[in-house]
């Protein structure tokens, strides 16, 4: 059985924790209201986990940028950029709807582009070092 689903669920959860904390803090700082920051951060938990899981499954299937040894910083950068586009659009819409102010949505989205890309890149690199859900890679390591 393909255990990559468990890996992608685990990655979704760890990333969502990091991403939600970042969104809450940015939304609070930009809106000036901790309650608004909390509402925006919690609202995106559901949407982001769903979008992130789909994003992971797509990237797993297309295998773009996978090198012979499996490592590819270019792949991680490409995943970072594609995820950030999806994530920023989602956050901007949620921040606008919750705050009632389109400028807050734009400002939160703009700030997030920087913070989330940095955080996501390091999240990807950390998960690359973890074998959880990658039976093939685990077997290859045992055989060498």
For residue range 80-90, list pLDDT tens digits in order: 889 889 989 99
Q: Is the pTM of this model over 0.75?
A: no
Q: Model confidence over 47-77: pLDDT tens digits?
A: 888 888 899 889 888 877 666 666 677 888 8
- Contacts of 79 by beta carbon, 8 Å cutoff, 6+ apart: 55, 59, 120, 124
Task: State the average pLDDT over residues 24-38.
Answer: 96
Tell me which of 94 and 56 has the higher pLDDT: 94
Nearest to 12 by CA among 104, 138, 140, 120: 120
Compute the distance between CA of residue 95 and CA of residue 100 in angstroms, rounded to an integer. 8
Number of domains into which the chain is organized: 1
Tell me which of 2 and 27 has the higher pLDDT: 27
Domain region containing 39: 4-143
Q: Max CA-CA distance within the chain?
A: 58
Compute the distance between CA of residue 40 and CA of residue 121 in angstroms, rounded to an integer. 23
Q: Model confidence over 114-126: pLDDT tens digits?
A: 998 899 889 989 9
- Contacts of 108 by beta carbon, 8 Å cutoff, 6+ apart: 23, 26, 27, 30, 31, 40, 91, 92, 95
What is the pLDDT confidence band of residue 2, given thresholds at 50, 70 and 90?
A: low
């Amino acid at each position: 059985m393909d255990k990559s689903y468990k890996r992608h669920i685990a990655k979704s959860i760890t990333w969502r924790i990091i991403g939600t904390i970042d969104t809450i803090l940015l939304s609070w700082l930009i809106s000036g209201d901790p309650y608004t920051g909390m509402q925006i951060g919690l609202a995106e938990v559901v949407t982001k986990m769903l979008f992130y899981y789909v994003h992971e499954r797509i990237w797993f299937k297309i295998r773009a940028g996978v090198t012979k040894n499996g490592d590819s910083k270019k792949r991680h950068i490409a995943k970072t950029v594609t995820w950030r586009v999806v994530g920023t659009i989602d956050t901007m819409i949620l921040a606008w709807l919750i705050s009632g102010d389109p400028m807050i949505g734009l400002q939160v989205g703009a700030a997030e582009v920087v913070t989330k890309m940095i955080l996501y890149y390091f999240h990807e690199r950390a998960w690359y070092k973890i074998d959880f859900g990658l039976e093939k890679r685990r077997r290859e390591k045992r055989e060498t």
